[in-house]
Amino acid sequence: MSASSRFAVAVHILALLETNANQALSSSSIAASVNTNPVVIRRILGRLNKAGLVHTEYGADGGTRLARAAHEITLNDIYHATENCRILPLHASSPNQDCRCGRTIQPVLSSIFSSAEAAMQQVLANKSLAEVVREMQAQAKPPVVQPS
């Protein structure tokens, strides 16, 4: 029922690219921040490249940069780039078509599940990478509490 952690890692990668926008980052340096293997990062970068969210260059001094401004990338863009499957799957094997219930339930569920998923994606679509980075920086410097 759950998605993979690719989505969370992808947001992490893109936030890192945005906060280091002056240089191209290698999969190794990104992996050091995410705390995983560079190949795991490259696999996700492959999806982000295919979606046109980043641009990668080969060779010495190569690496990855954002392909768009951070305020023009939504979390829903990142979600679609990294996850394939429906969040709420139907039956593993088709129900009994000789039963009225078995015949009719899947179209009804499919429609409801699509609405539920759309509501989730709407929240993601309303949040840009730029906002995420801003919230992360606010997290880093918590507001000072006034002494009483």
Residues near 37 by Cβ (< 8 Å), separated by ≥ 6? 31
Residue 55 partner contact from a second copy, DNA, none using kind-dependent CB cut-offs of 5 to 8 Å? none
Partner in contact with 130, chosen from DNA, a second copy, none, beta carbon below 5 to 8 Å by kind:
none
Least distance (Å) between residue 50 CB and a second copy: 18
28 binds, among DNA, a second copy, none (CB under 5 to 8 A by kind): DNA
Dihedral class, residue 59 (left if φ above 0, else alpha if ψ from -120 to 50, else beta): left
Q: Does 130 bind a second copy (CB under 8 A)?
A: no
Q: Is 89 in the site for a second copy (CB under 8 A)?
A: yes
Binding-residue pattern over the window 92 to 111 for a second copy, x denoting contact by CB under 8 A: xxxxx--xxxxxxx-xxx--
In the list DNA, a second copy, none, the entry touching 115 (Cβ below 5 to 8 angstroms by class) is a second copy
Q: Could you list the residues that contact a second copy (CB under 8 A)? A: 1-9, 11-12, 15-16, 19, 32-36, 75, 83, 85-96, 99-105, 107-109, 112-113, 115-117, 119-124, 127, 132, 135-137, 139-140
